[in-house]
Amino acid sequence: MSFISPLLTPEQLKLEKTVKLGVMASGSGSNFEVICEAIANQQLNGEVPILIYNNPDAKVKERGERWGVKTILLNHRNYKKREDLDQAIVEVFQAHNIDLIIMAGWMRIVTKVLLEAFPNKVINIHPSLLPSFRGIHAVEQALAAKVKVTGCTVHLAELEVDHGPILMQAAVPIFEDDTSETLHARIQEQEHLIFPQAIALRAQQIFTEK
């Protein structure tokens, strides 16, 4: 049971050229994986020239290697300021001619250094129906608030955390016996459906803006 808005047809999502995606991820990378799958099965006319991760033991690194994607570790612990990390990220993405930046579970706050280098081209996914439950532990926040419906949101990133124009959302029910694990799993199923679609949607917008 879910509600997705808006669900687009493959025809509506067709891109006239290949969108180059620079992915940033901190953890497991299941969203990174579905992006690669969507590209492989031609749902998304894209390529991922580079994956940046910040935690040395992040599982996403192995997924990247499995998909033959170049991976770079930029460990935030090695940078004095958030801006310094973002500057390094910008340099990597510019060197790879990236069209869109995809934050696929990037657990760092981004600064204007990144956002101004790629204006309206940084996409984030968040496990709640924004503007509800911003910030960390969004799934736990929804359980604590005892809401009956939550979900996920793909949006353009802005300086304010988990805020910005919404591309797509999907809603899921919360059941009496849900734990944060069962609820997060239900939300992630929907994330995996809408993320490639929302990326295609934004790519279409930037290609026609040019």
What Å distances lie between residue 42 and 14, 15, 106, 197, CA to CA? 10, 11, 25, 12
Taking CB under 6 A as the rule, does residue 22 contact ligand GRF?
Answer: no
Per CB under 6 A, which of residues 87..126 are in contact with ligand GRF? 104-105, 125-126
Secondary structure of 48-86 in the HEC alphabet? EEEEEECCCCCCHHHHHHHCCCCEEECCHHHCCCHHHHH
Taking CB under 6 A as the rule, does residue 24 contact ligand GRF?
Answer: no
CB of 188 or CB of 204, closer to ligand GRF: 188
Is 192 catalytic? The answer is no
Taking CB under 6 A as the rule, does residue 29 contact ligand GRF?
Answer: yes
Catalytic residue among 76, 96, 126, 184: 126
Taking CB under 6 A as the rule, does residue 150 contact ligand GRF?
Answer: no
Taking CB under 6 A as the rule, does residue 27 contact ligand GRF?
Answer: yes
All residues at 6 or more sequence positions from 40 whose CB lies less than 8 Å from its CB, including other chains = none
Q: For residue 14, what are its two tokens?
A: 């067709």
Taking CB under 6 A as the rule, does residue 30 contact ligand GRF?
Answer: yes
Can you tell me the distance from the alpha carbon of 94 to that of 101, in angstroms, rounded to the nearest whole number?
A: 11
Binding site for ligand GRF (CB under 6 A): 25, 27-31, 104-105, 125-127, 152, 188, 191
